[in-house]
Amino acid sequence: MTRTAHPRSRAAAVGLTAASLVLAGCSGGTDDGGQDGNGASDTVVLSTFPFGVEEFQEAVIDPFTEKTGIEVVVETGSNADRVSQLQLADGDPGIDVMLISDYYAALAQDKGLFQELDAGQVPNLETIADFAVEDAYHGPAYSYQLNGTMYRTDELDAETAADWELYGDEQYAGRVALPDISVTAGQLMISGVAETYGDGPYDIDTAYAKLGEWAPGILQFYSSTTEVTNLLTQGEIIAADTISGFATDLVASDEPIAWTAPAEGRFMATNRAMIPDGAPNAEGAHAFVDYLLSAEAQTSSAELVGDLPVNPEATVPTEVTDVVGDIADDPVAAGYQTLDPTQLVPNRDEWVERFAREVSGA
């Protein structure tokens, strides 16, 4: 039975603890600890997010194992915890591929924890969107998330919801929410405000001044998606800045909820496939990343996990296009930009401290 996209599995997993499990398929097993006669391992260890694991297994891992005979062992955890574990591993990570959000990918890369992919072993690098193979990262993006406003259609129209001024409008005071800088949408929102009102996405002074003006009318600077979706469905707020994936189930369930891209200041986050320095099975890791970027895997992941695909040949399910429309065809053509990790990594700690002091009052 075909299943539709499941972004809800992400939202529901906020309280999950890290777990490890073996996802075994049709592996060409051996009797010598997973090594074939040439000393190459038939197992890839994958480190990923602690949500949507069952969907990802069905969409990507099982087909990969069936095609290659390579078994996949999955370890899960938060971005921050997994970067810390890589540091403690001191060059012996025991992990072959890490799926991780862009900021943490850049942070770990800056610490020398990831190796550059061998493009010759990943032919599908030639088939994916340009923004997915930015030179700033050693590994490609395999999915992305669009920032925008989720809103109640019985209270607002799309044009009003797309205007950043919504969050400073006195008639909506106490009925809107914005993300804390700690969540994915947080930095995307800050850079959107910075670009709209200032000199570009890193004009933090202007962004924080504007957000500080709006703060008295913001009901909550949320730190989990569960918080914001509950506030919306219960009618306590009429709009919130958030990423598009978390609107999918609400829209599909016929709630009076929609999502729209901002009129200007459009930014997106990426999830990236990185190979740790010292990965024990680099050859298998490259094979997995190549399959992950294929149109086949990207289509399945979009359908079952709800990921926005970076391969233009992938098919995007109607549950996703019902939310983002034709932006999924080419987010860059629709005005979306990624953020420069060389700007984020050295400034992040200062920006977090300033956000608490100048904006959220935390």
Domains annotated for the chain, with CATH where assigned, are 8-143+270-328 (3.40.190.10), 145-268+336-360 (3.40.190.10)
Tell me the pLDDT band of 22, cut-offs 50, 70 and 90: very low
Report CA torsion sign: 238, 244, 250, 256.
positive
In the predicted structure, residue 16 carries a pLDDT above the cut 80: no
| Tokens 């943490």 belong to residue | 104
Who's near 231: CB < 8 A, 6+ residues apart?
177, 219, 220, 222, 237, 240
Q: What is the pLDDT of residue 339?
A: 97
Tell me the pLDDT band of 225, cut-offs 50, 70 and 90: confident
Tell me the pLDDT band of 224, cut-offs 50, 70 and 90: confident
- 156: tokens are 């607002």
Query: Alpha helix locations (H) across the chain?
Result: 8-11, 53-56, 62-68, 79-89, 102-110, 158-161, 184-197, 204-214, 225-233, 248-252, 282-292, 295-304, 318-324, 341-355
Other C-beta atoms closer than 10 Å to the C-beta of 59 total 25
Say which DSSP state 16 is in: P
Q: What is the pLDDT of residue 33?
A: 37
Tell me the pLDDT band of 254, cut-offs 50, 70 and 90: confident
Q: What is the pLDDT of residue 29?
A: 37
Tell me the pLDDT band of 362, cut-offs 50, 70 and 90: low
Q: Which among 4, 76, 17 is positioned nearest to 307, based on CA atoms? A: 4
In the predicted structure, residue 18 carries a pLDDT above the cut 60: no
Q: What is the pLDDT of residue 130?
A: 96
The dihedrals phi and psi of 304, each to the nearest 5 degrees, come to -95, -35
In the predicted structure, residue 315 carries a pLDDT above the cut 80: yes
Tell me the pLDDT band of 38, cut-offs 50, 70 and 90: very low
What is the tens place of the pLDDT at every residue in 158-214? 999 999 999 999 999 999 999 999 999 999 999 999 999 999 999 999 999 999 999
Contact yes or no for 221/180 (Cβ under 8 A): yes
What is the tens place of the pLDDT at every residue in 280-309? 999 999 999 999 999 999 999 999 999 999
Q: What is the pLDDT of residue 28?
A: 36
Tell me the pLDDT band of 256, cut-offs 50, 70 and 90: very high
In the predicted structure, residue 3 carries a pLDDT above the cut 70: no
Who's near 60: CB < 8 A, 6+ residues apart?
291, 292, 297, 300, 301
CA distance 183 to 180: 6
First to last CA, the chain: 47
Looking at the chain, the whole-number percentage of residues with pLDDT higher than 70 is 89
Q: What is the pLDDT of residue 9?
A: 38
What is the tens place of the pLDDT at every residue in 48-91? 999 899 999 999 999 999 999 999 999 999 999 999 999 999 99
- Chain center to CA of 8: 14
Q: What is the pLDDT of residue 90?
A: 92
